[in-house]
């Protein structure tokens, strides 16, 4: 699968599929994230983990635990495991509101899947 060629709709469908088919890494997580992706095909997305399930919401989730803002390109790099969130944060490419530890937890979680 080539993330660069996939639309954001296809990418979110793949994230939903993989997270819910292999629930081991998300067991026990009760966290909500918002992701504001900038650039072409950007937008607001929510990622909600509860009861061993992942739910993806297009748009604003409202109350969340951690908000991330990055470009669509950097988001694709993050999914591919080619983006260090700490370095991106330090360079201003990744903005985090809320618990930065949860942002790192999301990066580590996504690395357990093959995107």
> Domain locations in the chain?
3-110
Among candidate residues 72, 73, 68, 64, the one with its CA nearest the CA of residue 86: 68
Task: Classify domain 3-110 at the CATH topology level.
Answer: Nonspecific Lipid-transfer Protein; Chain A (3.30.1050)
Among candidate residues 4, 21, 26, 28, the one with its CA nearest the CA of residue 106: 26
Per residue in 29-88, pLDDT (tens digit) is: 999 999 999 999 999 999 999 999 999 999 988 899 999 999 999 999 999 989 888 899
Per residue in 1-41, pLDDT (tens digit) is: 688 889 999 999 999 999 999 999 999 999 999 999 999 99
């Amino acid at each position: 699968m080539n993330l660069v060629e996939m639309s954001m709709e296809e990418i979110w469908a793949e994230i939903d599929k993989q997270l819910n088919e292999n629930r081991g890494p998300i067991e026990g997580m009760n966290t909500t994230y918002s992701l504001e992706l900038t650039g072409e095909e950007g937008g607001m997305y929510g990622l909600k983990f509860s009861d061993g399930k992942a739910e993806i919401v297009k748009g604003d989730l409202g109350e969340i635990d951690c908000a991330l803002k990055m470009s669509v390109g950097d988001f694709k790099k993050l999914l591919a495991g080619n983006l260090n969130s700490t370095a991106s944060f330090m360079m201003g490419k990744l903005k985090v509101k809320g618990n930065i530890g949860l942002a790192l937890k999301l990066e580590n979680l996504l690395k357990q899947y093959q995107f």
